[in-house]
Structure 1
Amino acid sequence: MTVAHPALLRADWPAPPGVRAFTTLRHGAGASKAPFDRFNLGLRSGDALESVLANREELARIASLPAPPAWLHQVHGAAMVRVDAGALASEPEADAAVTSTPGTVLSILTADCLPVLLCSSAGDEVAAAHAGWRGLAAGVLEATVAAMRTPADRVLAWLGPAAGPADYEIGVEVYDAFVSRDWRAGAAFSCTRPNHWRVDLYALARLRLQQAGVDAEAIHGGGLSTIAEPARFYSHRRDARTGRMASVVWFQSGEK
């Protein structure tokens, strides 16, 4: 298990013992000033560079990371990278990563978009995906599951903090992006006024993961709302100018 710390929210899923997974919280650690206070880990959020770098160093310390995270330059698409030799030399444009190398740390940055962490039931492979509505519609979860060497029916998933279904209102372009492709996605939308809906990103993610072959019983999490909890989570929809949380996963070999 990850070392307990007030700035870390452990993933609540039945992952094998060697798998570590958590999401950072906005307080409990960090040096960023308002409106990024305090534990902002996003370099492209507008925060001071020295603050973010200091926060990333603190993350490595408080979480006892075995290596620096393999950060991505996220672009709300479906591209993914395989990381098989520790930290990346640069931040590639991608929204998902997968590794079969023990001690290689994957990380996704979010502030309303949905972070999805994945692992094999054997504990010998992990993946992380940035799944906002654009990424979900583009197929980032299907691409991530397909890139894993683990068969889909042996994959476990944890859905981290995201904009919750009671708080996230969207327009017709989002509705059409999903329902025009699959009528079953309509169950994730609740009409609020003409051409506006509340959307359940968690429900859409579960649908896409199951379509990719992941068992419904193997999908966990999905009960939090970044918009509704300003004391714990950053939210771009709520605050506009804000920081980013990191959802982190890796595995250690040989643990029972």
Structure 2
Amino acid sequence: MTSELDLIRPDWPAPDRVRAASTTRLGGVSQPPWHSLNLGIHVQDDSQHVTVNRSRLAGELALEQGAFGWLSQVHGTDLVTLPVDGIPEADASTTTQAGQVCAILTADCLPVLLCDRAGTQVAAAHAGWRGLCAGILEQVIASFAAPAADIIAWLGPAIGPRQFEVGPEVRDAFMVTDARAAEAFSASGARPGHFMADIYCLARQRLEKAGVTAVYGGDLCTASDPQRFYSYRRDGQTGRMATLIWLEP
């Protein structure tokens, strides 16, 4: 088991004071089936292992453990502004304060990071298909003081279009709000009446419709890379990765 954290650094033109990272499953102490850098406290892993993993992450990023704004994610559209007491029930966070870390946990759902070009505000969203369809990204964009044209976004590791099979109700839900969503669905060859969904395409459509056209990332599939990523769809009981963004002073 490796002790070295394998962090993904977004390749996007964010301002210098905007810092961001996405973890993989590598570099922690959790045992199977959570091996090894599980950061979720809600997945039946040993809580002491999660504490060690979170401490390692904080040390690697030169941050205080108290800086992380962990959320209780429920596939909804609520957003909180950091700092906030406790662990709020929400699926997105934003802040204008340096040193406050917006943190999202995922294992197939799409993590989305956003910042303004001036480097004064950052945000992170948990965009599974339910939250995405319900408008979580629009909520986050509306929280920015900057106009949407001055916001940039990065799409983190999520289940890819060749792995994400869904029922017709998922396609129908997206089609109700935007007919362009049809572009993100293709017929499943394995199950008649089902579809392969491209959650990256759906997120880009939602962002662009809201005015955010500078969108990066969207090329890492969690379900097809078991060595590097957790995947709930692939494994069932598994750990969680974190996607993080914060402002330096």
Same fold (TM over 0.5): yes
Distance 2:50 2:125 in 1: 21
AA paired with 1:194? P
- Name the residue aligned to 1:70: 69
Percentage of identical aligned residues: 51
Cα deviation code 1:149-187 (max 9, x no counterpart)? 121110010000000011111111211110122110000
TM-score (norm 1): 0.92
Aligned residue for 1:180, secondary structure, equals helix
Aligned residue for 1:81, secondary structure, equals strand
Aligned residue for 1:153, secondary structure, equals helix
Deviating above 2 A after TM superposition, structure 1's stretches of 4 or more consecutive aligned residues are: none
- Name the residue aligned to 1:10: 9
Measure how far apart 1:63 and its partner are: 1.4
- Name the residue aligned to 1:163: 159
Distance 1:33 1:244 in 2: 13
Measure how far apart 1:81 and its partner are: 0.6
Distance 2:195 2:182 in 1: 10
AA paired with 1:14? P
Q: How big is the alpha-carbon RMSD for the aligned residues of Structure 1 and Structure 2?
A: 1.1
Q: Please list, as runs of the form range in 1=range in 2, the aligned pairs for 1:1-256 lying within 5 A after superposition.
A: 6-27=5-26, 29-65=27-63, 67-83=66-82, 85=83, 88-192=84-188, 193-215=191-213, 218-253=214-249
Cα deviation code 1:81-111 (max 9, x no counterpart)? 111x4xx321111000110111111100000
AA paired with 1:90? G
Q: Which runs of 5+ in 1 are unaligned?
A: none
Distance 2:46 2:248 in 1: 33
Q: Which runs of 5+ in 2 are unaligned?
A: none
Distance 1:82 1:212 in 2: 20
TM-score (norm 2): 0.95
Distance 1:144 1:189 in 2: 25
Distance 1:99 1:68 in 2: 12
Distance 1:47 1:150 in 2: 40
Distance 2:57 2:145 in 1: 29
